Amino acid sequence: MEQKLLAQGTGRNGVINVYPDRIELRTGWNNENADPVGLKQIAHVSIRGFVNCTLTLEVNDGRRILVEHMALPDARQVKTAIEDQKRKASLYE
């Protein structure tokens, strides 16, 4: 059963999809490599820049996932969707 896609953004190094319980970073030829990360594992989301934004996801295991060269509206939409889902699940400070 496929879950509803809440937000999607594209950058130079991949596509980020936000679902109600996880995010997926898709990379590679035709986006065949999927790296799912649960919302419980995401510690912090930030945006840097105005024209070619960098979306930074800090994960509890010490990783930083960077999606570079995103449009600002896409980056804001992804960040807002992640924060809203974490707030709804009471996982956000």
Q: pLDDT at residue 20 above 80?
A: yes
The number of C-alpha atoms within 13 Å of 82 and in the hemisphere containing its C-beta is: 31
Q: pLDDT at residue 25 above 70?
A: yes
pLDDT digits (tens, 9 = 90+) for 52-88: 999 999 999 999 999 999 999 999 999 999 999 888 8
Decide: 85 and 20 in contact? Cβ < 8 Å. yes
The number of C-alpha atoms within 13 Å of 35 and in the hemisphere containing its C-beta is: 16
**How much is the pTM?**
0.88
Q: Distance between CA 75 and CA 67 in Å, rounded?
A: 9
In CATH, the architecture of 7-88 is: Roll (2.30)
Decide: 75 and 35 in contact? Cβ < 8 Å. no
CA 57 to chain centre: 7
- pLDDT band, residue 93 (cuts 50/70/90): low
User: Residue 51: its pLDDT value, please?
Assistant: 87
pLDDT cut 90: percent of the chain above it? 72
